[in-house]
Amino acid sequence: MSAYSPLSAQLDADTDVDVESTRTEGRRKMEWTLQHMPILQELRTQFAETKPLDGETIGMAMHVEAKTANLVELLALGGAEVAITGCNPLSTHDDVSAALDSNENVTSYAKRGVDEEAYYDAIEAVVAHEPTITIDDGMDMVYAIHEDHPDLIDTIIGGAEETTTGVHRLRAMEEDNELQYPVFAVNDTPMKRLFDNVHGTGESALATIAMTTNLSYAGKNVVVAGYGYCGKGVAEKAAGQNANVIVTEVEPRRALEAHMEGYEVMPMSEAAARGDVFITTTGNRDVITQEDFEVMGDGAILANAGHFDVEINIDELSELAVNTYEARDGVQAYELADGRRLNVLAEGRLVNLAAPVALGHPAEVMDQSFGIQAVCVRELIENELAYDPGVHNVPDELDREVAEIKLEAEGVDIDSLTQTQSEYLDSWSHGTWT
Ligand SMILES: NC(=O)c1ccc[n+]([C@@H]2O[C@H](COP(=O)([O-])OP(=O)(O)OC[C@H]3O[C@@H](n4cnc5c(N)ncnc54)[C@H](O)[C@@H]3O)[C@@H](O)[C@H]2O)c1
């Protein structure tokens, strides 16, 4: 087993921390969110009864906060041993991590504010549990296993990936014939992407930026870089708070969509001079660079909601700056030679999870994403032989199963197809007169 210690042992060694009350606070956060996660509640009942994950070891690298912790406990209730660490050095809630780590079948290595070495040591520590299933948010665990522990691959049944950037990386791996076990693209299924990426990122990124800065969107130019699922959500919710939204894109159809939906669309080089608040949601690097910083107005706010901290080129900004200081918690001001101050939130890491006040997506949204994660893990175990190595779409019946649990919990009834309607929809012989 790895020398890197689980969080409880790390906290025990820190005499300034009251471990018991830290755990209690973490558990309180988990209980609150679970009250608003009816899908996970239903799956908890089912998994506790049928133990579909009995005997499996699940290795996870995800944002360790209250909603994720409820997924972890669901998997443990289903019979699995779970080892988890963070997928971002700033998104862990230590109290939640400590509460998880006190669970008999769970080991949590996640700690907020770790440096690069500790981040990767913690991933190694999870891998040392020899997982039979992996769950990633960004693909760091799959990468570590393929690069450094290929001997484990034979015993791995499969994996699940939470986010767009992770799915991109997996598809690139598959393209190069490097991906050696099946992984579900949880991100791409409707019950995840249409809600989590759009509404979750829209609501939580904007709320976190507002709380971090104590500023309003009303009347401001909010520049949204990337009009994908996340960008659409951010743009719509910013417009709903009376911002003037400007969109930048590189994909002509997405740009046209933004234009037809009423937003100003222009290159970043033009938007840079117009924006008051910049929010990147591209999953790409160097989206805001030196030439943009050079024309931005004093006081501009820069935040990233994409997975990695590469969208705003902070190295270039640092080089340009004559001074830098922490203007507020989670706000680093960079002062340029002419006196302008550009304010970067959460070190350019995904703001809705990495800012000091960040809570991540709303519980109701993560209920759907994590409901899909749980049924995907169950599916991998139940139908192990059905999936070859590679990236797999979530089977539609699993997506529907989770949607139906949610509708029932919300008390929403819908119509069902009659037999005649089903036959009609499946038929190619019905035409204009037949
Ligand atoms: N903050 C969160 O909690 C959260 C939640 C879900 C996804 N994500 C992450 O957000 C990112 C975006 O996810 P998505 O689902 O919206 O992806 P997406 O592929 O639907 O959208 C990305 C968009 O960015 C555009 N783009 C790429 N390079 C660009 C550039 N240089 N300038 C302008 N536009 C550019 C693409 O054309 C595309 O339309 C990913 O990194 C994903 O992992 C974050």
Nearest CA to ligand 1 atom 37: 251
Closest CA to ligand 1's atom 33: 249
Q: What is the full DSSP assignment across 303-318?
A: EE-SSSTTSB-HHHHH
> Given this model, what pLDDT does residue 14 score?
84
Name 297's Cβ contacts closer than 8 Å, sequence gap at least 6: 273, 275, 276, 340
Residue nearest to atom 5 of ligand 1 (CA): 197
53: Cβ–Cβ under 8 A, 6 or more apart, which residues?
A: 47, 75, 78, 79, 80, 133, 377, 378, 381
Q: How far is the CA of 137 from the centre of ligand 1 (A)?
A: 14
Determine the residue of 230, 265, 284, 350 to mutate for testing ligand 1's pocket, defined as the one with the most ligand atoms within 8 A of the Cβ atom: 230
Q: For residues 64-86, b (16+ Cβ closer than 10 Å) or e, as one string?
A: bbbbbbbbbbbbbbbbbbbbbbb
- CA-CA distance, 254 to 213, in Å (whole number)? 30
User: pTM for the full model?
Assistant: 0.95
* 193 CA: nearest ligand 1 atom: 15
Of 266, 268, 281, 369, the one to substitute when testing ligand 1's pocket (max ligand atoms within 8 A of C-beta) is: 281
Cα distances (Å, whole numbers) of residue 123 to 66, 88, 141, 160, 168: 20, 11, 7, 16, 20
Among candidates 224, 319, 355, which has minimal Cα distance to 278?
A: 224
Which residue has the CA at smallest separation from atom 42 of ligand 1? 164
Strand-pairing partners, residue 392, are: 184
Q: How far apart are CA 282 and CA 25, in angstroms?
A: 35
Specify the CATH number for 199-354; select among 3.40.190.10, 3.40.50.720, 3.30.365.10, 3.90.180.10: 3.40.50.720
Helices (H), 136-283: 140-148, 164-175, 190-192, 201-213, 229-240, 252-260, 268-274
Question: What's residue 8's pLDDT?
Answer: 86
pLDDT, position 1: 52
Q: What is the pLDDT of residues 268-295, one digit of tens each?
A: 999 999 999 999 999 999 999 999 999 9
pLDDT < 70: residue spans in the chain? 1-2
Q: How far is the CA of 163 from the centre of ligand 1 (A)?
A: 10
Residue 217 carries which DSSP code?
A: -
Distance CA 277, CA 210 (A): 11
Six-digit token string for 353: 């999870």
Q: What is the CA radius of gyration of the chain?
A: 23
- Calculate the dihedral angle through the C-alpha atoms of 156, 194, 212, 306, rounding to the nearest 10 degrees: 50
Query: Which residues line ligand 1 at a C-beta cut-off of 6 Å?
Result: 163-165, 196-197, 201, 205, 225-231, 248-251, 254, 281-284, 287, 305-307, 350, 352-353
Task: Name the segment(s) of the chain with CATH classification 3.40.50.720.
Answer: 199-354
Element (H or E) spanning 277, and its range? strand 277-280
Ligand 1 binding pocket mutation candidate from 90, 164, 234 (most atoms within 8 A of CB): 164
Residues near 295 by beta carbon (within 8 Å), at least 6 away in sequence:
269, 272, 273
Residues of the chain with CATH 3.40.50.1480: 7-192+361-410
Domain 7-192+361-410: CATH superfamily, name plus number: Adenosylhomocysteinase-like (3.40.50.1480)
Q: Whose CA is nearest to atom 38 of ligand 1?
A: 228
- pLDDT of amino acid 16: 84
Q: How many CA atoms, within 13 angstroms, populate the side-chain half-sphere of residue 341?
A: 11
How many CA atoms are closer than 13 Å to the CA of 300, on its beta-carbon side?
28
